[in-house]
């Protein structure tokens, strides 16, 4: 019996407030073994804290970062990640792991998602070592204090960060 050859798609979920070079690295590594990646910006209608960027702004920034890569789609979702995956008919989730604290939280979520929908599998990737100490919250905090994050975000993201923080 031959295995049907089909295009493979993965969802890369997160807050992306904003997308960093660490996130970009995970997307590009996923494209090594997947045909398409859906970068999925999660949000909750009821969430008190808004974040720095609106969901629409985050989606626009990710689109701008990957404007030359037609194998990347960007979408926002509310509700359960596994429901979003089912809706899109995608069985693969990818997540980057940097540290032990990531590892524990991510495994908790992966095992819970598997329980909620057994057909969906989560794959973990190691980002480039240069980004092992990078997080979106650090990018927001350091930029707000006047630090230069140009090593850690794309130019389009840095411009938006600076204009956003000046207007705050």
Residue 36 engages a second copy in binding (rule: CB under 8 A): yes
Pick one of 87, 130, 155, 162: the residue that binds a second copy (CB under 8 A).
130
Residue 37, helix vs strand vs coil: strand
How many amino acids of this chain bind a second copy (CB under 8 A)?
Answer: 58
Stretch near a second copy under the rule CB under 8 A, chosen from 1-9, 50-58, 60-68, 153-161 = 1-9
Residues 6+ apart with CB under 8 A from 52: 17, 18, 140, 161, 164
Stretch near a second copy under the rule CB under 8 A, chosen from 16-24, 59-67, 80-88, 153-161 = 80-88
Residue 164 engages a second copy in binding (rule: CB under 8 A): no
Residue 43 engages a second copy in binding (rule: CB under 8 A): no
Stretch near a second copy under the rule CB under 8 A, chosen from 4-12, 17-25, 59-67, 156-164 = 4-12
């Amino acid at each position: 019996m031959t295995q049907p050859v089909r295009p493979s798609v993965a969802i890369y979920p997160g807050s992306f407030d904003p997308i960093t070079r660490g996130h970009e690295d995970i997307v590009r590594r996923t494209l090594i073994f997947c045909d398409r990646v859906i970068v999925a910006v999660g949000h909750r209608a009821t969430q008190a804290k808004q974040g720095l960027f609106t969901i629409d702004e985050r989606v626009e920034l990710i689109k701008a970062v990957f404007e030359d890569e037609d194998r990347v789609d960007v979408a926002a979702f509310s509700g359960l990640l596994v429901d979003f995956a089912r809706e899109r008919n995608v069985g693969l989730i990818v997540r980057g792991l940097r540290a032990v604290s990531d590892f524990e939280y991510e495994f908790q979520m992966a095992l819970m998602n598997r329980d909620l929908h057994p057909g969906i599998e989560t794959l973990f990737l190691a980002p480039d070592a240069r980004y092992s100490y990078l997080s979106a919250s650090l990018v927001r905090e350091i930029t707000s204090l006047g630090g230069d994050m140009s090593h850690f975000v794309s130019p389009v993201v840095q411009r938006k960060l600076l204009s956003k923080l000046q207007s705050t």
